[in-house]
Structure 1
Amino acid sequence: MTIKAKHSGQRGRTSGTSRGVRNLHAEIAFKIGERICSGEFPSGSVLPNEAAWGKLFGASRTAVREGMKVLQAKGLVISRPKIGSRVAPRESWNLLDKDVFAWHGAAVGRKAFIATTQEFRRHIEPGIAELAALKRTPAQLEAMAHALSRMSEAERLDNAISSDVAFHRGLLAAANNELLNPFAVLIEQSLGSLFEFTTQVNPRYRQAIHLHERIFKAVKEQDSEGARKAMQALISDTDDVLSGERAGQKSKSKPGRS
């Protein structure tokens, strides 16, 4: 079974967060942040001054200054009196901030972003599953079961993605470790983007659901090693889906193939 989108034009999750209604300085921060993460202004480079930004955006220096404060809080910009604002080193960027994470994902491109996401999952999610099996509460089990049920019944792409993400976020919550809580942003945005792609191209979607069920069963039975192995199996299955898609793209590009 392969779930397809019911409508066209669905926006990728790494192309930027929903802006909604923003005040002026937040909109300025958003636009400058996108340009920094895209590489237009490399780390260490001096940014245009407040007057230049103000002219570009039709905004006051006060609005620009407040926008820069937002970017400083996100770790993207370093400002010094009489020196101006510079782009901070990339290692200082707060990728746990939703905006920064979205800008970064859009900038690196889908292929690199998915590869990074899978690396993150291999090193983090099996441990999360193991902890969840040891520390989950009845309420957390119920939340995971609800997400799994929604995932099994989903016929629309957006419903399949949201329920899949909800399952993984529920697993993170069930680990009951405060130091892991900030990873909720990464779970929501990186896995959301990954699942948006893999759910559409996965010819074995029901197999993926079965692997989620194995994780849930192990967590429910407090089988920590089983939960770890079940998560590793799910991640390996995603690797297989991605490898199959890459192989398919290569074969389509060969001469003589229609």
Structure 2
Amino acid sequence: MGDAGKTTNNDWLRRSLMTLVHGGADRASNHTSFVVDQLGFAIVAGEYPPETMIPLDPDLCEMFGVSRTVVREAKKTLIAKGLIQSKAKVGTQVRPADGWNMFDQDVMRWHASVKNPTRYYEELFEIRMIFEPAAAAQAAGRVNQIDCDGLFSLCDALEKAESRADFALADYEFHKQVLRLSGNRFLQSLGDLVQTALYSLFMSESVATFPERRKTVVDRHRTVAAAIASGAPIEAQEAMRRVINDGYRNALSDKAAPAS
């Protein structure tokens, strides 16, 4: 992925994190994006169950205060994401969940935002456990000194991050760099999934417990970097497994904890 793609992804993650930090966003200036976000989340949250109809266009226009053109464009976007389908003389119906595009950034973000996303975390954990440890092992046999320096620099960025948002961005860059160093283009293309996974974990992370966990997270990432730099694929693979497992366990423990 080129620099332009990297910038776009980072901007997406930063905007998402800033929205969370500041307690939610105002109505988006892009009305189509606003409608997509509201309807998409409502569908994922179960407000419109599979095989039910969403409101008619005039009702959606009134609901969101937008034009029919905006509603039509929003529906096209949701159709492309696999959430809905339009049927002639019937209307627009919500598709079964197994037909949704789970690699879509918005679909993953909506899942992470629902009240009890336990199953989502489980599935995310399973898929990351399949490809990220393998990427770390691959990277251990391919890196040079410059690559290793870059990984350790990202660990330094994690340690020095002044906010949780900056920490999450550095974390994402580290994981994406490991995917890149694997040398496998298919693994590299999964960077967006990791990005949204880390956004999800950021959302679940308790503000109170974050400082306590921070050092452990940094140390775990340094262990991954050290194993890759040493050309030790098995150690790199196991170290990455620990990183992912810790994040998954923390996400579930925070979700299960009573609200303060």
Give how far 1:86 is off: 0.8
Tell me: CA distance 1:191–1:25, structure 2 relative to 1, closer, same or farther (3 Å): closer
1:171 to 178, 182, 206: 178
Instruction: Give, in whole Å, the separation in 1 of the partners of 2:67 and 2:18.
Output: 35
Give 5+ residue unaligned stretches, structure 2: 1-16
Give how far 1:79 is off: 1.2
Q: Number of matched residues?
A: 241
Residue aligning to 2:228 = 219
Residue aligning to 1:99 = 106
Instruction: Give, in whole Å, the separation in 2 of the partners of 1:102 and 1:230.
Output: 26
Residue aligning to 2:71 = 64
Instruction: Give, in whole Å, the separation in 2 of the partners of 1:157 and 1:110.
Output: 21
1:232 to 204, 229, 241: 241
Over the aligned positions, Cα root-mean-square deviation in angstroms equals 3.5
Letter in 2 for 1:21: S
Tell me: CA distance 1:123–1:108, structure 2 relative to 1, closer, same or farther (3 Å): farther
1:209 to 209, 218, 241: 218
Residue aligning to 1:189 = 196
Give 5+ residue unaligned stretches, structure 1: 1-8, 254-258
- Summarize deviations over 1:140-176 as a string: whole Å, max 9, x none: 4443232111112234333322212221121122223
Structure 1 residues 110-125: aligned runs within 5 Å: 111-125=118-132
Q: TM-score, normalised by structure 1?
A: 0.76
Give how far 1:109 is off: 2.7
What SS does the aligned partner of 2:141 have?
Answer: helix
Instruction: Give, in whole Å, the separation in 2 of the partners of 1:18 and 1:123.
Output: 38
Residue aligning to 1:21 = 29
Letter in 1 for 2:176: R
- Summarize deviations over 1:85-129 as a string: whole Å, max 9, x none: 111121121122222211121125355554444334333321121
Tell me: CA distance 1:19–1:54, structure 2 relative to 1, closer, same or farther (3 Å): closer
Native 8 Å contact 1:16 1:106 kept in 2:
no
Q: 193-202 or 78-87, which moves further after superposition? A: 193-202
Letter in 2 for 1:68: K
Give how far 1:207 is off: 3.4
| Sequence identity (%) | 27
- Summarize deviations over 1:25-59 as a string: whole Å, max 9, x none: 33322221121111111111122222222232333
Native 8 Å contact 1:136 1:219 kept in 2:
yes
Tell me: CA distance 1:234–1:18, structure 2 relative to 1, closer, same or farther (3 Å): farther
Native 8 Å contact 2:116 2:255 kept in 1:
no
- Summarize deviations over 1:230-257 as a string: whole Å, max 9, x none: 112334444665687689x58x99xxxx
Native 8 Å contact 1:26 1:70 kept in 2:
no
What SS does the aligned partner of 1:86 have?
Answer: strand
Tell me: CA distance 1:99–1:18, structure 2 relative to 1, closer, same or farther (3 Å): farther
Residue aligning to 1:37 = 44
Native 8 Å contact 2:121 2:248 kept in 1:
no
- Summarize deviations over 1:206-227 as a string: whole Å, max 9, x none: 3332221121122123221121
